Structure 1
Amino acid sequence: MADSEHSSAHEASENPQEVTKEEQKLEISDDEEALIIRMFNLVGERWDLIAGRIHGRTAEDIEKYWNWSSISK
């Protein structure tokens, strides 16, 4: 029975809808956004360089935020 409970919990975490919600929830502070904009103006789409200036952010996080924010404005 423990195996079936483990399987159910594991399957629920692989739900593609949950991943989509998490990807959409990237929250960037005002300070981070200002730094992203300044860095983008200096180095362009070099997401790894920009992410290196923001603790805890990956290049993918920064690029997703940039692409999402440019679409939503």
Structure 2
Amino acid sequence: RAKQKFEELKKQAEIAKKNFRQLGGQFEEDNKLETVENETQKKIEETEAKLEFEKLKREKYESELDQCRNEIARLINIIR
């Protein structure tokens, strides 16, 4: 019986929280969650920017490697 009462009160508390939020109220846990979400989004954006930078750097090195290979092939043809 006590467990049933506890579950009923828990359900009522959840309904009260939802009503409070619908009326524009915010709980401290909501603010903490929002802060964590913002920090996570910022880290994701920073990581994506780093990834893009590394991608461009890799493409530059691949281009330089292709140029070096072409130069080596050209020099080998001159030597022959």
Q: TM-score, normalised by structure 2?
A: 0.27
Structure with higher RCO (Cα < 8 A, 6+ apart): 1
Please say which structure displays the higher CA radius of gyration: 2
Q: TM-score, normalised by structure 1?
A: 0.29
- Identify the structure with the greater helix proportion: 2
